[in-house]
Amino acid sequence: MAEEELGVKKSSTKWVVDPLDGTTNYIYNYPLFGVSIGVEIEGEMRVGVVRIPVLDETYCAVKGVGATFNGRPISVSSSDDLSSSFLSTGFPYDEELVPKALGEFTRMVKESRGIRRDGTAALDLCYVASGRYDGFWELGLGPWDVAAGSLIVEEAGGCVTDLSGEEYDMYDSEGIVATNGKIHSEMVEKLS
């Protein structure tokens, strides 16, 4: 039934919500899971909030205003060399993307200081924003996984693109790369 038939007006505001990012972690009582809420207005992400309840961590960003962690301003790390960078990734649920993801992981293990897999893309992005990670990449994510976190990274001074370094489209891009900006081109080059 069309929106008009239901008496619903089209809105320029879209809420992009993941009520439980890190579902498998939650099922197994692994404490890295949370809620991710993004507000998109006229096609642009304007507000992002990620809440990790077990750790009592809240990350927020407002377009053009900056990003915070538990109310305090945050910024990305200053690492400028991929070989000394601490990274994060995840593995896609789409089995067709798994071989590519494993190849990327194998390459990046050799190119970085270390890689972690937390099982929650929203938190991985927030950890890039707060300087805990220098970079993050993953294939096959949905808009709900990245809407809030990608804005938080950008507002903390980081860079978010697709795997080829082009503008990231959360509705269409195959994968995401988010970094402190200083290692971004090197990381994109190694992932290509």
Taking the C-alpha atoms of residue 45 and residue 102, their distance in angstroms, rounded to an integer, is 30
Residue 192's pLDDT band (cuts 50, 70, 90): confident
pLDDT of residue 143 exceeding 70, the answer is yes
Domains of the chain are 13-73 (3.30.540.10), 82-191 (3.40.190.80)
Say what the pTM is. Answer: 0.93
Of residues 98 and 1, the one with the higher pLDDT is 98
19 burial type by CB count under 10 A (0-12 exposed, 13-18 middle, 19+ buried) = exposed
Give backbone dihedrals phi and psi of 184, rounded to 5 degrees, phi first. -60, -55
Statement: residue 1 has pLDDT above 50: no
Determine the pLDDT at residue 155.
98
The alpha carbon torsion through 167, 154, 177, 185 (nearest 10 deg) reads 80
Tell whether the model's pLDDT for residue 140 goes beyond 90: yes
Count of C-beta atoms within a 10 Å radius of residue 89? 23
